Amino acid sequence: MTTRSADPALDRWGFSAWLDATRRSGDFVMPPELDDVNDAVISVDGRKMINFAGIGILGWQHDPEVRRVFAETAATYGLVVGGSRLVQGVSRPHLELERLVAEISGKEKALTFATGLLANVGFVNAMSAAFSFDDRVGVDNADAVLVLDRRSHWSVWKGTEGFERGRNLFAFRHNDPAHLRELLEQLRGRPVIVGFETVYSADGSIAPIGAILDLCDEFGAVSFADDANGFMVYGNGGHRFAAEYEALRRVTFLMVSFGKGVGLSGGALAGPADAIDAFHYLSGTSMFTTNIQPPTAGAIVHVLRRMRQDPSVMERYLDRVDGLRARLLEIGCAINPTPTYVTSIAIGSRDVGLRVRQEFLDRGYLVPMFGYPAVKKDAAVIRLLMNDRIADKDLNGFVDTLAELRHRYEF
Ligand SMILES: Cc1ncc(COP(=O)(O)O)c(C=O)c1O
């Protein structure tokens, strides 16, 4: 259905013309409307679909104990934080969660945010802020220099809008410590922050964490790792990427999301105590907005404790992902070489991507197709964070359908 702007003053923004054209070409896809709970099988307009598009991989929200803790925390602490933390105060579930995140990450302190995206934007803001209450003592870090892996998440780049490329903002080639070294050599003597992701959500690669942190040590740079995708998936006693996650303990600042491994929502920054305390003011995304809802904070604490107590739940899940990767290779798919739980299946052009997505929909599978700008042009991928609640028969159905479509569309 086409809508028209009622306000002619909006015409020059071009939304209607762009929508008309992209709806006709099939590029513009509205999100499916879900009839009930997000799960491995969802209902879209009354039709059951196998859901490969979710990110809450273990489905903790369906666990009866998690639901009980959520309800009890809501009864005690209510549904909302009720205002900005500095003005309104902070509830116990948040403080408990922050203590736990600091303990898990081996950092002095942690600060929670409504989402991981806000933690990232706030981090960049805080590390480059010039601020003082009274013009006497203050911080002035306007000369900070950011050096980011080129494929860092949108939220980190969004935070850099006050920076200027080539002056105080630099990008190193994806996962390339040699290029990072070149940049750090040029930037000697300046206050540098090196930012990277642990597990990259678009291509499923993992950063050379130890090598990057060695360079930070050598050049005296502060380090920042966005562990949105890896938090509680790796580094919790499991054997996969154990060396990388051991090295990660040396990072200065760690950002985590509670949306992926933990399967709920929210985010946090962990790091040295004074910096984290200063971030209450300097991040902006702590002071100028609200935080995770208290029942969710309580539920996250519960899930984190369970995951620490029994890492085998995640290990069994990761074994299943390895099984899926093996099957995808058997049918000849090109997938990301690093065996993280992020499975990226190369499709190619955006056009083929859209058709494959529609074919899956017609057969009852909601499949996440990533096109530009999430990935490079003509490098569309199916990006799976497999949901552990998907039944084996549905996984098999997905692989069989993929094999058939691969043959038809030659990807
Ligand atoms: C690497 C990375 N950073 C940050 C985020 C944002 O986290 P959240 O979903 O908690 O806002 C994501 C989420 O997709 C991510 O993949």
Task: Give yes or no for residue 197 having a pLDDT over 80.
Answer: yes
Residue 275's nearest CA partner among 306, 252, 308 is 252
| Contacts for 336 with CB less than 8 Å, ≥ 6 apart | 203, 204, 205, 342, 343, 344
Residue 318's nearest CA partner among 238, 199, 231, 404 is 238
Cβ contact 94:242 at 8 Å = no
Amino acid 286: pLDDT:
97
Overall size of the chain counted in residues: 411
R_g of the chain, CA atoms, integer Å: 22
Does residue 267 have its Cβ closer than 6 Å to ligand 1? yes
Residue 38's nearest CA partner among 64, 60, 70, 65 is 60
143-173: pLDDT as tens digits: 999 999 999 999 999 999 999 999 999 999 9
Ligand 1 pocket test, pick from 117, 265, 384 with the greatest ligand atom count within 8 Å of Cβ, gives 117
Amino acid 4: pLDDT:
60
The helix (H) or strand (E) run that includes residue 274 is: helix 273-282
Atom of ligand 1 at shortest distance to CA of 120?
4
Cβ contact 232:245 at 8 Å = no
Atom of ligand 1 at shortest distance to CA of 265?
10
If pLDDT is split at 50, 70 and 90, which confidence band does 290 have?
very high
* 228 Cα to the center of ligand 1, angstroms: 5
* 267 Cα to the center of ligand 1, angstroms: 8
Average pLDDT, the chain: 95
Atom of ligand 1 at shortest distance to CA of 55?
14
Task: Give yes or no for residue 365 having a pLDDT over 70.
Answer: yes
Q: Which domains does the chain have, with CATH numbers?
A: 21-51+311-409 (3.90.1150.10), 63-309 (3.40.640.10)
Provide mean pLDDT across the span 293-314: 98
Give nearest CA residue, ligand 1 atom 10.
116
Atom of ligand 1 at shortest distance to CA of 229?
16
* 289 Cα to the center of ligand 1, angstroms: 18
| Rama region for 348: left / alpha / beta (φ>0; ψ in -120 to 50; rest) | left
Cβ contact 88:290 at 8 Å = no
Amino acid 185: pLDDT:
98
Ligand 1 pocket test, pick from 153, 199, 206 with the greatest ligand atom count within 8 Å of Cβ, gives 153
If pLDDT is split at 50, 70 and 90, which confidence band does 368 have?
very high
Amino acid 275: pLDDT:
98
Cβ contact 384:336 at 8 Å = no
Give the whole-angstrom CA distance, residue 411 versus residue 409. 6
Let me know if 393 is exposed, middle or buried by CB neighbors in 10 A (0-12, 13-18, 19+).
exposed
Give the whole-angstrom CA distance, residue 263 versus residue 60. 6
209-253: pLDDT as tens digits: 999 999 999 999 999 999 999 999 999 999 999 999 999 999 999
* 152 Cα to the center of ligand 1, angstroms: 10
Percent of the chain residues past pLDDT 70, beyond the cut: 99
Amino acid 376: pLDDT:
82
Percent of the chain residues past pLDDT 90, beyond the cut: 89
Q: Which two tokens stand for residue 408?
A: 């038809």
Provide mean pLDDT across the span 191-201: 97
Task: Give yes or no for residue 3 having a pLDDT over 60.
Answer: no
Does residue 233 have its Cβ closer than 6 Å to ligand 1? no
Locus of tokens 């990427």: 241
Residue 409's nearest CA partner among 365, 372, 354 is 354
- The 10 Å Cβ neighbour count of residue 314 is 22
71 by DSSP, 3-state: which? helix
Query: Running DSSP on this structure, what letter comes out for residue 191?
Result: -
User: CA neighbours within 13 Å on the CB side: how many for 391?
Assistant: 6
Does residue 205 have its Cβ closer than 6 Å to ligand 1? no
User: Which of 130-144, 179-193, 356-370 has the least mean pLDDT?
Assistant: 130-144
Atom of ligand 1 at shortest distance to CA of 118?
11
Amino acid 5: pLDDT:
58
